[in-house]
Amino acid sequence: MKFHSEFVPHTSELQLFVSDLNRSTNFYQKIIGFKILTKSNDTVVFTTNGKTPLLTIEQTSTKRVYPSTGLYHFALLVPERKHLANVLRHLLSTGYPLQGASDHSVSEAIYLADPDGNGIEIYVDRPSKQWNWEEDQVMMTTKALNVEELMKEVSGVSEELPENTVLGHVHLQVSDLKEAKDFYQKGLGLQIVSQFGYDAIFASYGGYHHHIGLNTWQSAGALAPKERSTGLKWFSIVFTNDLERNKRVEQVKKFSNVWEKDDDFYTKDPSGNMIRLSLKK
């Protein structure tokens, strides 16, 4: 997973507001396959390796109202194709409803949503040498996943995500695509690697197919959700060193406010999506 290593800036962690902490804890532990790292009265921190936080959920009483900006989905990247096969077999055994299964040429993916409607993608990448590029644009498609072929990869029985599962990318709903593009490209330094018409773009660091997705499919001109609404609280981008992070912080200040807390910097994109700018621990 070279695009999520110490050598490339990448997405690494996120926090969600949920309307029923116990229900969501059960979902993320038993359906998705996370392990609980820490737990309090209103917050649960999940991990896959037993030591590194990947997802945090926090209780709220405010439900997200649509249309609004915010999370479209977050994507969990598993290491190997057999792991995706095992995940799919487990999900099917639970009877939990899936929303789709797609072949994107660069990856194979399964889609579902948590009890609050937060979108989740679980996927595996094809080797990067198999990705097709036209100049600086990566070719991504959406075709039906060959489930029968994938299931031939099933190996072992496990209800848990592999320990080296990572936050592969975050896909956001924004109100204005041009504003968002300027913020992520000129502020945070991502490269635009794919564009779908006038309503979706994909951006990355280091030649990945995408660390960030942005769309206005159901959110053009929409406002941000109310404070503490169900959905995204923040997601993090990890930078490789302090010099690089400081450079991005200064660039982002041209577009948005930046504040510091507990050795991390925070900002919001033009659509109100909060981002934590961290260093590799």
Phi and psi (nearest 5°) for 90? -60, -45
Lookup: tokens for 105:
């040429």
pLDDT single digits (tens) 39-62: 999 999 999 999 999 999 999 999
pLDDT (0 to 100) of residue 156 = 77
How many CA atoms, within 13 angstroms, populate the side-chain half-sphere of residue 76? 26
Q: What is the pLDDT of residue 100?
A: 97
Please count the other Cβ atoms lying within 10 Å of the Cβ belonging to residue 222: 20
Would you list the domain boundaries of the chain? Answer: 2-279
Give the per-residue pLDDT at 268: 98
For the domain spanning 2-279, the CATH number is 3.10.180.10
Longest dimension (CA), the chain: 51
pLDDT at residue 240 in the model:
93
SS3 242: helix
Closest CA to 122 of 114, 132, 130: 114
Q: What's residue 159's pLDDT?
A: 86
pLDDT in tens, the chain (281 residues): 799 998 999 999 999 999 999 999 999 999 999 999 999 999 999 999 999 999 999 999 999 999 999 999 999 999 999 999 999 999 999 999 999 999 999 999 999 999 999 999 999 999 999 999 999 999 999 999 999 999 999 987 778 999 999 999 999 999 999 999 999 999 999 999 999 989 999 999 999 999 999 999 999 999 999 999 999 999 999 999 999 999 999 999 999 999 999 999 999 999 999 999 999 87
